[in-house]
Amino acid sequence: MKSSLAALGAGIVFGVGLGISGMAQPAKVLGFLDVFGAWDPSLMFVMGGAVIVHFALSRWIRRRERPLLDAKFHLPTATRLDKPLIIGSAVFGIGWGLGGYCPGPAIVSLGSGALSAFVFVAAMALGMAIQYLVRMPRTVSTVAERLAEPTDMPSALRASAAGGGRSSQEHAPLPDGHDVGRGLDVDGGVAVHEQ
Amino acid sequence: MNLIDSYGLSLLGGALIGLAASIVLLTHGRVAGISNLFGGLFLPGYDARFFRLWFLGGLVAAGLVLSVIHADAFSRTGVPPLAMVGAAGLLVGFGTRLGGGCTSGHGVCGLCRLSRRSVVATLTFMATAMLTVFIVRHVVGGPS
């Protein structure tokens, strides 16, 4: 209950921040990205404001032994610069520059009823599903097996499926590519990241 | 709206984003990366599905409230054609899961953790986004 309310509250604050910052206006975002045209620099202040506040607060929060409502922190541990990181970020940037939406503002815009936001979020979900299905190796049978993968394995099972708690800094390629695009996530919501 | 107001709102909005990311870290010990939170709702192998649902529900609720009290938060004009928005969504979905984050996860939370991966990711997507807008607006001269 407390946990759900905290999540809901944080989501509302995050969403209001995105909304008033101008990030949910594709026209403004594209103006910000148009550095060779009529550049609108105001969105630099969004990242500026967010980084100043979160840099200071997160330093203080991470001194705690554990978060308030969870047994431990779930922070990313990967440090390696690899191809999926670069290629994925490059592809994301192309999409952001085409549509003017990044994931957060698009989801906030669902609440405004904008048709473009619904189209974007549906396509984004599809893009994520495609990325999940085509992670190496790209064979038909593997894709079929992925589709049949259970979605709610207990975390112990997940850890063994993802390489027995192997740290994602080690680069030995996993036979089924499980750490590509998922294990190296910034969220660390995947079992391989749990310390 | 004049430029100073626009800068002020952007700064205030950014500060709220930073505050919300800090609440998520303090209460749940997690990174407020939206592409991960969203993808983990329906892709196999992610945990904390209720947390994800409540947080993302908060984002949508904020949009609903803002569309009533501050409709300027959303563009009515200058949005690219729907086909382009759809293609953009596909690329954003694919790219953020392959690259492990978006503007929030890498651009805000990752930079604050001084993560080398997030610095590189942020520089990369900023560069390709600016290049894309340059091509669309000044080379092809297409829509918007």
pLDDT, one tens digit for every residue, chain A (195 residues): 889 999 999 999 999 999 999 999 999 999 999 999 989 999 999 999 999 999 999 999 999 999 999 999 999 999 999 999 999 999 999 999 999 999 999 999 999 999 999 999 999 999 999 999 998 554 555 566 666 665 554 554 444 444 444 444 434 444 443 444 444 455 433 433 322
Question: Which of A68, A74, A98 shows the shortest C-beta gap to B26?
Answer: A68
Give contacts of A90 with chain B, Cβ < 8 Å.
95, 99, 124-125, 128
CB contact under 8 A, B42 and A43: no
How close, in Å, is residue B28 to chain A by CA atoms? 5
Question: Which of B21, B126, B133 shows the shortest C-beta gap to A30?
Answer: B133
User: Bridge partners of B30?
Assistant: A74
> Which residue, B25, B77, B1, is CA-closest to A70?
B25
Give the integer Cα–Cα distance in Å for B133 and A98: 7
Give contacts of A142 with chain B, Cβ < 8 Å.
none
Give contacts of B126 with chain A, Cβ < 8 Å.
93
Give contacts of B42 with chain A, Cβ < 8 Å.
125, 129
Of B76 and B54, the one with more pLDDT: B54
CB contact under 8 A, A50 and B15: yes
CB contact, 8 Å: A159 with chain B?
A: no
CB contact, 8 Å: A138 with chain B?
A: no
Question: Which of A112, A115, A185 shows the shortest C-beta gap to B63?
Answer: A112
Neighbours of B87 (CB within 10 A): 20
CB contact, 8 Å: A174 with chain B?
A: no
Q: pTM for the whole thing?
A: 0.83
The DSSP code for B30 is B
- Residue B142 banded pLDDT, cuts 50, 70, 90: low
Q: What is the mean pLDDT of chain B?
A: 93
Burial of residue A170, with CB atoms counted within 10 A of its CB: 0-12 exposed, 13-18 middle, 19 or more buried: exposed
CB contact under 8 A, A111 and B37: no
CB contact under 8 A, A81 and B43: no
- Residue B5 banded pLDDT, cuts 50, 70, 90: confident
User: Bridge partners of A74?
Assistant: B30
At residue A100, the 3 state secondary structure works out as coil
The mean pLDDT of B74-88, rounded to a whole number, is 92
CB contact under 8 A, B63 and A126: no
Q: For residue A140, what pLDDT is reported?
A: 56
Q: For residue A171, what pLDDT is reported?
A: 42
Say whether pLDDT at B66 is over 90.
Answer: yes
Going from the C-alpha of B136 to that of each of A11, A23, A26, B144, the distances in angstroms are 33, 20, 14, 8
Say whether pLDDT at B115 is over 80.
Answer: yes
CB contact, 8 Å: A52 with chain B?
A: yes
Determine contact, residues A27/B79, Cβ cutoff 8 Å: yes
Determine contact, residues B21/B107, Cβ cutoff 8 Å: no
Q: Which residue of B has its CA nearest to A120?
A: B89
The DSSP code for B45 is T
CB contact under 8 A, A37 and B94: no
Nearest 5 degrees, angle CA B91-CA B95-CA B101?
135
Give contacts of A103 with chain B, Cβ < 8 Å.
34-35, 38, 92, 96, 102-104
Nearest 5 degrees, angle CA B99-CA B104-CA B108?
105
Of B86 and B4, the one with more pLDDT: B86
CB contact, 8 Å: A125 with chain B?
A: yes
In chain B, % of residues over pLDDT 70: 95
Give the integer Cα–Cα distance in Å for B8 and B13: 8
Q: Which residue of A has its CA nearest to B120?
A: A86
CB contact under 8 A, A81 and B116: yes
Q: For residue B140, what pLDDT is reported?
A: 87
Q: Indicate the domain borders of chain B.
A: 3-139
Q: Which of A90-94, B13-17, B43-47 has the lowest mean pLDDT?
A: B43-47
Give the integer Cα–Cα distance in Å for B30 and A67: 9
Q: For residue A3, what pLDDT is reported?
A: 92
Q: Which residue of B has its CA nearest to A82?
A: B117
Q: For residue B4, what pLDDT is reported?
A: 67
Going from the C-alpha of A18 to that of each of A11, B6, B13, B102, the distances in angstroms are 10, 13, 6, 14
At residue B141, the 3 state secondary structure works out as coil
